[in-house]
Structure 1
Amino acid sequence: MGVLVPIARLLFSAIFITSGLNHFIQLDALTAVAQASGVPEPRWAVLLSGAALVLGGLSVLLGVFARLGAAVITLFLLSAAFMVHRFWLVADPVEAQNQLVHFMKNLSMAGGALFIVYFGSGPYSLRRSGRQEGFGGKLGSPPLRR
């Protein structure tokens, strides 16, 4: 069953790695979106968030500093949800529904990232052997024993 964890890391991280790369490929278009959303320093924000997504996604995928990478992903997702996907400000009902879906998707994925922040990368990681990552100890053990 332990093989499910690296598969889960691959499935979870793929969207962040590809989205981060897309920040560089579609820099002008995403800068325009950030600017229209009122993001300060939109070009720098797109470049920095692209780097954060690629590095965060790779860290989760490989299990190296996965907790830190997942925390960075969480910050990005929550920032994007509240700064870009503000469905409550959209007059057109179809576009408002679209933004609501993106807002809720970001919240959901942030919740998944927080699981990695808490439990760590799990088995089959490139982290140093013998050093358990995460607050919850070994996979399946009770978290934060007192």
Structure 2
Amino acid sequence: MGVLAPLGRLLFSAIFITSGLNHFFQLEALTGVAQASGVPEPRMAVLASGVALVAGGLSVLLGVFARLGAAAIAIFLLAAAFMVHRFWLVPDPVQAQNQLIHFMKNLSMAGGALFIVYFGSGPFSLRRKKAEGLGSGRLGVPLRP
């Protein structure tokens, strides 16, 4: 059963690593989207969020500072949901539905990221605690920083 944690980290982090890289490959297009959404300093926001997504995704995947990486991902997802996917402002019902789907997807993934913030990366992480038995979470699972 221990293999579920690294598999879950892989499946969870893949979208953030690829999306973060896309922030650099599609910088101009995403800057335009951010600007149209009213994001302050849109180019800098796209670059910073790209770094946060790639670094956060890699940290979750490898289990190194996974809580910090997951927190960065959660912050990005919540900011994007409320700043970019404002379905309540879209007059066209089809486009509003599309934005609602993106908004809810971001909230859902932010919830998953917050689980990692709370529980840590789980077994098979690259980072090891100095004193393994120092703290333990619910169900006797050791906490990972």
TM-score (norm 2): 0.92
C-alpha RMSD of matched pairs (Å): 1.9
Residue matched to 1:20: 20
Percentage of identical aligned residues: 80
CA contact (8 A) 1:119 1:137 kept: no
Matched, 1:34 2:34: yes
List gaps (5 residues or longer) in structure 2.
none
CA contact (8 A) 1:16 1:54 kept: yes
d(CA) in 1 for partners of 2:18, 2:8: 16
- In structure 2, relative to structure 1, the CA distance for the partners of 1:88 and 1:16 (3 Å cut) is same
Deviations 1:69-98 (A, max 9, x none): 000000000000000000000000000000
Deviations 1:100-140 (A, max 9, x none): 000000000000000000000000000125556xxx83573
d(CA) in 1 for partners of 2:131, 2:100: 40
Residues 91-102 of structure 1 aligned to structure 2 (within 5 Å) = 91-102=91-102
Matched, 1:140 2:139: yes
Structure 1 counterpart of 2:114, one-letter code = L
Structure 2 counterpart of 1:43, one-letter code = R
Structure 2 counterpart of 1:137, one-letter code = S
d(CA) in 1 for partners of 2:129, 2:138: 14
CA contact (8 A) 1:122 1:139 kept: no
Residues 94-113 of structure 1 aligned to structure 2 (within 5 Å) = 94-113=94-113
SS of alignment partner, residue 2 of structure 1:
coil
Matched, 1:86 2:86: yes
In the alignment of these two chains, the number of paired residues is 141
